[in-house]
Structure 1
Amino acid sequence: MTEADVSRGTSGGPAPSPGWTPIAEEAERAARMRHPDRYAMPRPAHRRVLTVANQKGGVGKTTSTVNLAAALALHGVRVLVVDLDPQGNASTALGVDHRAGTPSVYEALLGEISLLEAAVPSTASPDLLCVPATIDLAGAEIELVSMVAREQRLKQALSPDVLDQLDVDYVLIDCPPSLGLLTVNALVAAAEVLIPIQCEYYALEGLGQLLSNIDLVRSHLNTSLHVSTILLTMYDGRTKLADQVTSEVRQHFGGVVLRTVIPRSVKVSEAPGYSQTVLAYDPGSRGSMSYVDAAREIAARGAAMGADSAAGVETNGR
């Protein structure tokens, strides 16, 4: 749902047809929610690993991670969520046990178990797997400091062989609200960064530091890393400020910003309290449908990336 569309009820797609009405648009979106199998999203030509990062707290990192993952999984795409936040909120939202002693990302980082042993199906969808975070992860940064290749631990755990055995199309890594060693591990393990940005006054505060850290990681540890996606969250159409923030972000970052924005929604906030994504808690809510629209954009971009790559190979081969 785009910022202009939050008020008119459209989903940011092509220009409305002559017979378009807001009710018809909402009916079509509701049908997509009730029958996801009929509206499958394209699988990417190559597996995509995205780190969801922003050191500012409360911008919707975890909420966006779990709901985008659920939307993709419900529409025919296999997804793995790696909960790298010691709070374990992503694990909670996906209905995955993360009590102390549960096989988790902590043991995988230390090399005590394979990630295969920690990945479990989510209650949100059989195509959605989660590697939970337990309270043990809170001390992981201290333990990792003395380890060899400490920035590479998650990348080693997420080896191509492991991901092939899990048979996933997308890997979404939920980071803690900091720029510590856990976040650095996530940036090294991924090729892409997804940055949720809150549509409020302090949205861009600290973003420069995050981009600088991404540049440092790209220069020294992961040359393929880049910001591929920016998602605007907590949009409130009643304020001019939200429009100003979205306009500024779009002007600065251009095409990496998704057309869909996530509106501020009580349902989105309530869902984690029931150990559910908003798609399970209230499928017909604005927040739920907006996350489906955003996931559809991400899936379309993933398919287009594969098509562009194939076109490049064909052109170079001539």
Structure 2
Amino acid sequence: MPYDEPPAAGAPDIHVVRPELDTDLLHGGRGRAEDTPIAREAEAALAALSRSSAELPKPSRTRTFVVANQKGGVGKTTTTVNIAAGLAQGGSKVLVVDLDPQGNASTALNVDHHSEIPSIYDVLIERYSMDEIVQPVSDIEGLFCAPATIDLAGAEIELVSMVARESRLQRALSVYHSSMDYILIDCPPSLGLLTVNAMVAGDEVLIPIQCEYYALEGLGQLLRNIELVRAHLNPNLHVSTILLTMYDARTRLASQVADEVRTHFPDQVLRTSVPRSVRISEAPSYMQTVMTYDPASTGALAYREAAREIAERWAAREKVSRIPVQLDEGSTHVGIDAEVKR
């Protein structure tokens, strides 16, 4: 009987129960709805949200990332603050060092950075220590920021005449970083002394690459500068992570750029790519990361997954490096490079 058709005269009063929507279909369950694009998107979003509440594995020592790309507009600062927020929301203690005179990372994290505030500039000229300038981020527990002020704009010129000009940030962080699980240094879009200071202070380089035509422009020069720093100042520096940003799945060009980058850097590129998102663009104007501005947005979910991938990749490597390896009878060795005898 159709639902809208009244019962015949004299018929018993029958209560008709309308069928409920089977929510299992949106969770990859039964039926054909699981094969629709909307259902797949919903399933992925629900899975990402459920993972976001879980704690991330912490590294056994402080990991210091240099977030660099001399090409502007690739999402460098956005990546810095949102990856940092994702790691902090996963239970880690994270410090963002804003080394860009524009101070955009400081703005996005809503920390005070007007000209009278002690900042990373004061650390570089050794007026203050890191302990004296670091501020907590109010809306994310475990996240801290060393802010940048406009004074940093003249630091490049001042550092030229200073002793040990390339290692001033490294010395400042060396007495501070033991209290942090992660340090992310947001570099200016140039390869001057500020960026060199970051590369001397860090161990890992995180390169955001925009999924557009000019994505690889300047990347070769950045890699050459990294090699120069490795050769003369910091042999531990290496490119550990590449994140594809502003990915638009509707365009063939984005897929081509992503494929090319993954071909050249198969071990460094994260599986997660960050899509173009209005929410990501809006968040800084409200002095927030997208993680707090709209936690359920595609941009927030992508950065949260990228943070998880960064943490879990390292945890997997540390686990492998602790595997006891039998070298010969009666002796063992713990290491990642040895062969495990089955």
Aligned residues of 1:70 and 1:124 also touching (Cα < 8 A)? no
Aligned residues of 1:262 and 1:287 also touching (Cα < 8 A)? yes
TM score, norm. by length of structure 2: 0.83
Q: What is the percent sequence identity of the aligned residues?
A: 61
Shift of residue 103, structure 1, vs aligned partner: 1.0
Equivalent-residue separation in structure 2 for 1:155 and 1:311 (angstroms): 32
Shift of residue 17, structure 1, vs aligned partner: 7.4
1:305 aligns with 2:311: no
Aligned residues of 2:322 and 2:334 also touching (Cα < 8 A)? no
Equivalent-residue separation in structure 2 for 1:213 and 1:24 (angstroms): 43
Equivalent-residue separation in structure 1 for 2:334 and 2:155 (angstroms): 48
Higher helix proportion, which one?
A: 1
1:29 aligns with 2:48: yes
Q: Which residue of 2 aligns with 1:6?
A: none
Q: Which residue of 2 aligns with 1:238?
A: 250
Equivalent-residue separation in structure 2 for 1:31 and 1:169 (angstroms): 23
Shift of residue 304, structure 1, vs aligned partner: 1.9
Aligned residues of 1:78 and 1:170 also touching (Cα < 8 A)? yes
Count of equivalent residues: 296
Q: Which residue of 2 aligns with 1:285?
A: 297
Equivalent-residue separation in structure 2 for 1:312 and 1:150 (angstroms): 43
**Paired residue for 2:151, among 136, 160, 164?**
136
1:177 aligns with 2:189: yes
Shift of residue 307, structure 1, vs aligned partner: 1.7
Aligned residues of 1:102 and 1:134 also touching (Cα < 8 A)? yes
Equivalent-residue separation in structure 1 for 2:86 and 2:101 (angstroms): 24
Q: CA RMSD in A?
A: 1.8
Shift of residue 101, structure 1, vs aligned partner: 1.3
**Paired residue for 1:163, among 177, 193, 209?**
177
- The 10-residue stretch of structure 1 (42-51 or 16-25) with the greater mean CA deviation from structure 2: 16-25
1:316 aligns with 2:333: yes
Indicate the SS of the match to 2:242. strand
Shift of residue 28, structure 1, vs aligned partner: 2.7
Structure 1 stretches of 4+ with a deviation exceeding 4 A read 16-21, 312-315
Shift of residue 316, structure 1, vs aligned partner: 2.4
Q: Which residue of 1 aligns with 2:230?
A: 218
1:68 aligns with 2:83: yes
The answer to which structure, 1 or 2, has the higher relative contact order (CA under 8 A, 6+ apart) is: 1
1:55-134 counterparts in 2 under 5 A?
55-134=70-149
Indicate the SS of the match to 1:64. helix
Equivalent-residue separation in structure 1 for 2:84 and 2:151 (angstroms): 24
Q: Which residue of 2 aligns with 1:260?
A: 272
Cα distance, 1:265–1:108 mapped onto 2, change above 3 Å? same
Q: Which runs of 5+ in 1 are unaligned?
A: 1-15
TM score, norm. by length of structure 1: 0.89
Aligned residues of 1:106 and 1:136 also touching (Cα < 8 A)? yes
Aligned residues of 1:45 and 1:302 also touching (Cα < 8 A)? no
- The 10-residue stretch of structure 1 (17-26 or 233-242) with the greater mean CA deviation from structure 2: 17-26
1:187 aligns with 2:226: no
Indicate the SS of the match to 2:65. strand
Shift of residue 18, structure 1, vs aligned partner: 7.2
Equivalent-residue separation in structure 2 for 1:18 and 1:216 (angstroms): 53
Aligned residues of 2:66 and 2:205 also touching (Cα < 8 A)? yes
Q: Which residue of 1 aligns with 2:287?
A: 275
Indicate the SS of the match to 1:254. coil
Shift of residue 65, structure 1, vs aligned partner: 0.3
Shift of residue 125, structure 1, vs aligned partner: 1.1
Indicate the SS of the match to 2:322. helix
Shift of residue 180, structure 1, vs aligned partner: 0.5
Equivalent-residue separation in structure 2 for 1:310 and 1:99 (angstroms): 47
Write the deviation string for residues 200-225 of structure 1: whole angstroms up to 9, x where unpaired: 00000110000000000000000000
Q: Which residue of 2 aligns with 1:10?
A: none
